[in-house]
Each structure stands twice: as structure tokens, then as C-alpha cells.
Structure 1
Amino acid sequence: MLNRLRKHVGVHACGYGIACGVLASLLGLFTIAFVLALVESNTLAKSHQRLERAISSVTDEEEFLLHHLNKHLRPDCSDAALAQARQLVFATRFVRDIGFVDHQNRRICSAVAGILPEPAPLELPTLREIRNGVDQSIWFNFPLAMGPNHYKALIMQQGQFFVVVNQQSFSSLIRDVDVLGLQLADALPSRVYQSDRITPFWSTYFDEQTALKRPKQGFDWTIMSLVRTDYIPGTPWVIQSYLSGQDILLRQEPMFVLLLVTIMFSGLLITAFVTPVLARQKSIGARLRNLLKEGGIQCYYQPIVDLKSRHWIGCEVLMRIRDGDCIVAPQEALPEIVRQGLEWELDTYMLQHAMAELAQSMPITNGFKVAVNLMPKNISFHALANFLSPLLRALDRPDLQLGLEIVEHSYDDTVIHEIAALRKAGFAISVDDFGTGYSNLGRVKHLAPDVLKIDRTFVHEMEDHVLRSSLIPEIVSIGRAVGSQLVAEGIENELQAEQLQQLGVDYGQGYLFAKPLPLQAFVKAYMAQNTLLQDSTHT
């Protein structure tokens, strides 16, 4: 499954490479949006904090001053009382006036204006609450005149005293938020300020937020906006602001454009880098190790035939790689196997798999030779003996006679003693593709193989009577001299088979008899061939 997926990715590498670039760009875009939203969230929080500190300072000063007035000053508008009130005004940071009210809650005098010509009723307060056991009222945007100047004031009253704060001391901070309100208990806040950006939707949204115990602080994905609601501790004040996604981008436009260009360029680079990497996944080399682990390596079997009786006396095990619905030729995979150092894994897999399959499916025979090719790197007596001895004991099929094939040009003098040790341990040794290397009689005699396999190129040229095919008698002579059986590979027609038999070659293999077959097809053909030979013998 994994190899199918990797091959599919490799075949469609261009599309997946582009997709990776696009996804990386989208992820980068999301990251940019997140970072910009985080920056703006911090900016919004700082705006609230500045206003919160200002209002907290004003509120603390007002409450402290009102407590002092109610405790130490008589509200009788006397010169002494007004003078003392003026001294208190000068000693404060925010308060601009101190006023007195009568029992009907009408302004009668103040530290700045003195005694009013006539009592002036106070309007209904923006908020009235019992705070710390004291009846307290607050007015916001209350219009007042100070000489020729008019201004909006924040007024707080306790008892018969009120203090006045010029809102201009924090009006610039208010303009950085969208809503400033006064909230009593669970009631909706009375808004003393809202920006021009507040639409009916946002008015409803902020009202809903104040009804929650934990209002939203951060990005609200349902409306794609950054929102914030803060209550000023110890006061009835509530501050609310929002920034839509578009607002965030507009406020950070230069940075956004710069980062967007960077992300797009990065996406192109990722596409350019990933595409060739993915394209390599369609090559057999990229998936060979997993194919080996997942059973993608299959054993095919080609019969070795007695040229005289046409009896199947054995088989050669050949590797096939099933890659999805395709069969990969061994010559395509072998260079990658060597490059990745998988020779031992492949040889042991072929040996174990082939012998186990044949032991399970083949009928008991009088002796059936099984030839398995070995990689040159794996010609080691100790390694092979330690692997094969317990395997053959466990299979308990002595009629299946394992032979190890080595290619002529793959061995040298350094491994001859390893081959000799394997022969001594009972393993038949075959030299494959004989005639293509540079072995002389002395070297072959020293190796003393059980079988010499004549390379198919000699067989193919027999009918043309070219020089190469004329060497077959010499190869037969070498085989006879060292006591080796001879097997001719690549026999495709009866004429070749007859000529080889006449030259003294005992056995052959090739498409004339059968092509390499998967296990079940091979066993079926073997049994059919045996039945046919038995019938012909009886007749």
C-alpha cells in the first residue's frame, strides 16, 4: 500500500509539488494572518490598558475626594467651605471643580463658579449605584461652562458633594476604542461613548458579550474579527473594541504585502525543490527497500530439463519485482540493490522464500535441484551456512537439493576458498554465464564447480555458425575435464536443443521448455509434464 502511494506520488510529482507549494503558501499566509492578528491584539489590549489606567486613576481620585468631602466639609456654600474646596481642587490631578447640592439634588455652588444665581437641577445620572454602602451617581458627557469655555465633564456625586473632571484628559484614549460604557450588575451597559464604526450588528454583538461571564478576548472565527471586552476592576466601566480581518490587513498593509511576496516566493521555491524529490519516488530505487519488506519481491521458476528425456530435473529461481500492477525487470533493479547495500537482504529473502514455497507446494520427488543466484558480495561460507543450515533442517525436504549459483565474472581468487567450504558442506555450486568471463582450465579446475551453465549468447548464435558458437565444444571439454555437469541457457527451439545434445550438453533451460513461471503455474506445469512423460513411457 505504501509503495503504491509512493509510486502514485512519483508519477504525479508535478501536481503534488505544486500542491505542496500552494499548501506551504497557504500555511505561510495563515501564519502571517495569525502573527498580524497577534500584533493587533496586543495593540488593542494596550489601548484598553491605557484607558483603563486613566479611568481607574480618575475614579480612585474622585472617590477618595468625595469620601474626604463628606467626612470633613460642611456643604453650606460658605466662603470657608468654598475656599477649602478650591484648595482641594488645586491639590488633585484630574478634578477641575467641586460642587455642592441641596436636599433636592440641585447644584447650588462650586469651588470655581461660587454660589449659583439660582439652583440648577441635575439631570438623571448615566449610572446610579450603591457602592461600598454609599449612594453614588455618575454623569458622562455632562455639558458645563467654565467662563467663556464649554466642555464635556465626567461628574461623580456622593451625598451632597460632586466632583467634576474634564473628559479631555482622557478623550484621546477613548478614541482608540469603540465602546465605553457603564454597567450595573447584569443590566446592559449604558454607553457613554461609541465610535462611528459601530453598526447595528456590532451593537448587538457587544451587548451579547457583556451578558457573558467570560466575554471573548481574541479572534472570533465566526465573524472573522478580533474582539475584546474588558471590565475595569473595582469600577462599573466596560471597554469594548473590534478589528475586522480587513481592518487588520489595512493597518498592517506594508508588512502584509512584504510578507505575502516572501511567502509566494517561498512557495515557488518549495515547489521547485519538492517536485524532483517526489519524482524520484516513481523510480524503483526509492521504493526498493519497502518492496522487499512488503513482499513485492517474487520468486519465479524456470525448469532445468534433461535434453535427452525432457524430464524436469530442477529449476532456477529468478527474481521478479511486482511494483503495483507492473513487473520490474531484474536488470533495472539490481544496480539499485547494490547501490543501497541490499544484497544480503535480497539473497536471504530469495533463498528462504523459494525453498519454503517449493517445500510446501512441490510433491515429493526423487531429487529436484533448486538453483538460486547469489550476489558476489554474499559469497561467504560462515554467513550462508549459518543462514541455510537451520532453514533446510526446518523445511525437512532433502529431495529439494539446493544449489548456489555464482556468475563467472563475479568471483576471484579471494573467494575460491569460500566456495570450496560451501561445496564441502554439501551445497552444489554452479557457475552461471560461463564463457563470458576469463576463466581458464586451471582456474575452473581449482574451483571444481558441480555445474557449468553455458551463457545464452553462445546458444543464440549456434544457427548462424558464428565464431562465438564454435566455442561451445571447448566449454564442453572444460566441463568434462573438471567433472562438471553442463546446462545450456536460452534454448528457444528444437534445433538448438538437438545440436547441444549432440555436442555433449546434458541439460538445458529456455523458452522451448517453459518461460519463468510463478509458483502455482510452475507446480502445475511440472506435474503435467511428469504425467505426460509417464504416459509416453507406458505406451
Structure 2
Amino acid sequence: MKEMASITKYLAFLSGIIISLTVIFYIYSNILKSQLFEQGENILSDLVDTTTYGYGVIESLNSQNFTYCSDENLLAMRKSQFESNDIRDIGFLENGVLTCTTGIGILKKPIKGPRYDFMLDGHEFWFNHKLVTFDRTVQGIIIRKDNYNLVASFQGILYEHRKFNRYELLALKGEKIIHLFGETGIYQKNSTSSQPYFSSGLLSHSFEFCGPKGLICVAIEQRNFSEFQLGPVFLILLFISLISGVATLHAYQSIYSYIYSTKRRIKLALSFKGIKPHYQAIVELKTGKVIGCELLARFEDHIGPLYPDQFISVVGELDMSWLMTQDLILQAIDDFKDIQIINEPFYLSINVYPKDINNGNILKGVELLKNITPNLEVCFEVTEDEELHYSKVGNTLEVLSKSRIKISIDDFGTGYSNLSQLKLLDIDTLKVDKSFIDEVETGSIRSTLIPNIVSIAEKLEASIIAEGIENRLQVDELLKMDIKFGQGWYYTKALPLEEFKHYLINHSDYKFDQ
């Protein structure tokens, strides 16, 4: 059991670490998802802004109605390029043939370009086109309408996004993927024009996002925590994990203590009638025949059993004593409803809490028992207790004395009652406490008090039952003291109903209707 508890604590600690790491990863993943989504939108937005700006530049140049590549035309083209950060070159075409550019000037040999990749918004587009200007190769987008085209450089457009060193910009032409910029192979065809795609992994996160028309897509991949220094991140994660593990272990121990607490177990048992009656035989000492029994509460759940001295007081603390007593009474009535009368009714003793006499709950028991079979003689057994306010329960005692229910004082000689108080209760039976019986064999001073108890019983016109009898010698000594009835392990311990019925049938003349 201890080994299992240790393993459970270890698992709770480990669970705390795993949960904390999972939560941290989940939070980080969602933050990174937002960042990548925002970055993907910004990349496409910058492309759209550059394209829109390019439309304006081309429209402005076409509106000037130049017919050939004059110095005035080149000046206007270079002025437009100078005013833009992203345009790397502007060209003039005559009859679809490029004759001059801002980078080279008038071409010695005019160039007739390839067919465009896309037609968008009335403009022709070439993607991933390389254009030699001076001594550099510019990679980007060529946009053309009527007599002018311009080259927008990816390096210029995407310069501010360089912190994402693993991303890919591409164009989709049907099923064909045209790589435009960045690192090839990152795009995995997971996104659509209407639905971005985000993937989280233990090592990295990836994101794919396509523009509204699904022509241009961006894919970004980032290794986890690469934006931080790994040393400090590891120490922070280790610290948080240890704190979470300890917190989870503490929470587990608190929950464990609550779940396994006697109060919770008893409260749950009372809610579902989980406290069961057992019956211990009361016998005639001279003959050994059973004349009745005492109902004793027993409890066991999936955790294990609890002894009466572990839970009886807890029931009182929970203020659920009458609920338990009522359930046990109803069960006992049902258990003995078919018992047959021989000479005397079967004696059934049921323990009640003193507080249930004080608050009048015991009168509910009178109501429960008013219509029971005459085959049963029910006795409420009250433990001598300082909580029993004799002077304040007159009406209750009067109702009890007029009912069929008898009153017994349990553990007599160990409590707080006196003779005048006992007369108020109209006592039928005194039960001599086991501590007196244990010493009857040795003739100790304590055992010499038993004749005094017998004398008190005679004055009350009450019978006596000796509790806790464990051997034959005790029986013989009690008989010498004129004690007629007793109970204890010498005869039998408290038994569940079926076992008690079997014992009763074999040790008495009582039978049960079939």
C-alpha cells in the first residue's frame, strides 16, 4: 500500500511537470501561430501594396503618351523609379518589344520577352523573372500594361521580413507551383485561398497562407524557441516545471486526503445508504438460547472498512446521526418482518444518539415503529453521555414511555447518569459495560460493583444484559450474580443478516416465514 502511494505521488509530480510543459507549449504555440499568421498577412499585404503602387506608376507613365524612348520618357521613368523603394527597373516597349529601361537606357538590341504567366486586373505578370541591370541580377515580379513594365524586387519588398529565415513565397498556376522567393520545399500544399494552415510540432511550427485569389502563397517554418536564447529558456522551463510538479503533488495530497477522509467517506455512505446493519446475539446465560440481538452499524467501501469507534463519532459531527439511525431502523424492520413468535417477541436493540433525544428526532423513530409486526420488541439503546439533557427532554421521554419502544442504558456505570435521572427515562434494561465483565474472573474491586448495578436495576424494575462476554468462566460468575442475559464473542460476534439468521435458527426456537 505504501509502495503504491509512493508511486502515485511520483506520478502526480510527473503529471504536474507534463501538464505545465503542455500548457507552456500550448500558450507558446498559440502566440507563435498569431505571429506567423500576422507575418504571412504582412508579406502578402506588402506584395499587394507594391503591386497596387506599380499599377499607379504604369498608369501615370502611359497617360503621358510617349511613343518612343526619348530622353523625356527615360527621365519620367527614372523619376518614378526614384520615388519608389521597391521598383528596381522600369522599361518602355514599342509594339511589345522592350527598347529601353531605366537601368540600362536605350537597348542596343530590343528584347521581345516571353509570354506572361498571369493576367490580373488587366495587367500582365511575370513571376520569378530575372532581369540584368548594370552588373546585378534582380529577382522579382514584372508587371506590364500597354507601353510600360516595371520590375519589383523581392529583396526590397520582403526585406523587413528577413527574421523568418525559413519561408517560401510562391505562385500557383493551376496545379503548377512557381517558386518565387525564399527557401524551396517549405510549402506543402496544405492551405487554400479561404483557409490558412497551421501545424505545430515538438521541434518546429509551420504556417501556410494564400492570398484572396489563391495566386500567391507564403509558407513559413520556424524552429521552436529559436527566437530565444536556449540556455535561459531551458532554465526557466525547468524552474516552472519543478514548481508545477510540487504544486500538483501538493494538490494531489490535498485531494487524496479529502477523498480518503473519514468524513467524506461516511457522508457519501450515508447519502447512498452505505452503512449496513450487523446483528450480535443477546442470549439467555443459563440456556445459551438467543432471545434477541443488538443492531450494530458497520461500514466498508472500496477503500476498506472502518471500525465503529472510527466513524460513529464522525456521524455525530456531521449532524447526520438520525439519518443513519433511521436507515438502520428501516433495514432492521425489513430484516425481521418474517420472524415467528415462540413464547416471547424477538428483542431488537437499536442504538440512538443522545443528541437525537435532545432534539426530538427520536420521536420520528416512534412513528417509524408504530406499525411494525408484534413479533418484534424494539428497544432504543442510549449511551450514558453528558450530552443527554435529562431535565429538558420531559415531553420526549413521556412519549417514549407511552409507546411500545423500550429504553436501555448502554455501557452502564461509565457515564453521567444517576438514579433519579434514570427514573425519568423509565428504563427497561441496563447493559453492564465490558470493563466490568473483563475483571469478573479475578474478583477485582471493579467487578465487585456489579451487585450494586443489579440492585439499581431491581429498583428501576429493569433487566440486565452483560456485554463483552468472552469465556465460560465469566458466564458462570455472572449467573452467580443473578444476571440472566448477555452478549459477546463467547457466543458470536456481530454478523450480517444471513449469517445471523443461520446462528439464530440453530440457537433458539425462533423461525422465519419462508
The TM-score with structure 2 as length reference comes to 0.86
Q: Does 1:144 align with 2:123?
A: no
How many residues align? The count is: 503
Do the aligned residues in 2 keep the contact of 1:13 with 1:275 (CA within 8 Å)?
no
Q: Does 1:287 align with 2:265?
A: yes
* Secondary structure of the structure 2 residue equivalent to 1:470: helix
Residues 1:249 and 1:235: Cα distance change in structure 2 (over 3 Å): closer
Post-superposition Cα deviations, 1:91-121, rounded to whole Å, max 9, x if no partner, equal: 6564454322343x443223564433x2242
Q: CA deviation at 1:138?
A: 4.7
Q: Does 1:119 align with 2:109?
A: yes
Give, as a single letter, the amino acid of the residue that structure 1 aligns with 2:224.
I
* Secondary structure of the structure 2 residue equivalent to 1:303: strand
Residues 1:143 and 1:174: Cα distance change in structure 2 (over 3 Å): farther
CA distance in 1, matches of 2:47, 2:79: 23
Q: Does 1:187 align with 2:175?
A: yes
Post-superposition Cα deviations, 1:464-500, rounded to whole Å, max 9, x if no partner, equal: 1111111111111111112111222223334433332
Q: Does 1:237 align with 2:237?
A: no
176, 183, 189: which one aligns with 1:208: 189
CA distance in 1, matches of 2:425, 2:365: 23
Residues 1:303 and 1:76: Cα distance change in structure 2 (over 3 Å): same
Aligned to 1:3: none
Give, as a single letter, the amino acid of the residue that structure 2 aligns with 1:467.
I
- Aligned residue runs from structure 1 range 307-346, under 5 A: 307-324=285-302, 327-346=305-324
Do the aligned residues in 2 keep the contact of 1:379 with 1:415 (CA within 8 Å)?
no
Do the aligned residues in 2 keep the contact of 1:106 with 1:119 (CA within 8 Å)?
no
Q: CA deviation at 1:41?
A: 2.5
Residues 1:162 and 1:479: Cα distance change in structure 2 (over 3 Å): same
Residues 1:33 and 1:426: Cα distance change in structure 2 (over 3 Å): same
Q: CA deviation at 1:262?
A: 1.4
Do the aligned residues in 2 keep the contact of 1:29 with 1:260 (CA within 8 Å)?
no
| Bigger helix share | 1
Residues 1:130 and 1:485: Cα distance change in structure 2 (over 3 Å): same
Post-superposition Cα deviations, 1:374-425, rounded to whole Å, max 9, x if no partner, equal: 11211147422234414542xx412211110111235343355233431223
Higher relative contact order (CA 8 A, sep 6+): 1
Q: Does 1:524 align with 2:497?
A: no
142, 156, 172: which one aligns with 2:159: 172
RMSD: 3.2
Do the aligned residues in 2 keep the contact of 1:50 with 1:173 (CA within 8 Å)?
no
Residues 1:306 and 1:48: Cα distance change in structure 2 (over 3 Å): closer
* Secondary structure of the structure 1 residue equivalent to 2:119: strand
CA distance in 2, matches of 1:174, 1:333: 70
* Secondary structure of the structure 1 residue equivalent to 2:277: strand
Q: Percent identity?
A: 23
The TM-score with structure 1 as length reference comes to 0.83
Give, as a single letter, the amino acid of the residue that structure 2 aligns with 1:230.
F
Residues 1:421 and 1:119: Cα distance change in structure 2 (over 3 Å): same
* Gaps in structure 2 of 5+ consecutive residues: none
CA distance in 2, matches of 1:138, 1:33: 38
Post-superposition Cα deviations, 1:239-292, rounded to whole Å, max 9, x if no partner, equal: 22112xxx1123233446414421222212321442254156445444122233
Q: Does 1:401 align with 2:377?
A: yes
CA distance in 2, matches of 1:327, 1:174: 69
Do the aligned residues in 2 keep the contact of 1:174 with 1:180 (CA within 8 Å)?
no
242, 259, 262: which one aligns with 1:264: 242
Q: Does 1:218 align with 2:198?
A: yes
Aligned to 2:206: 227
CA distance in 2, matches of 1:209, 1:355: 73
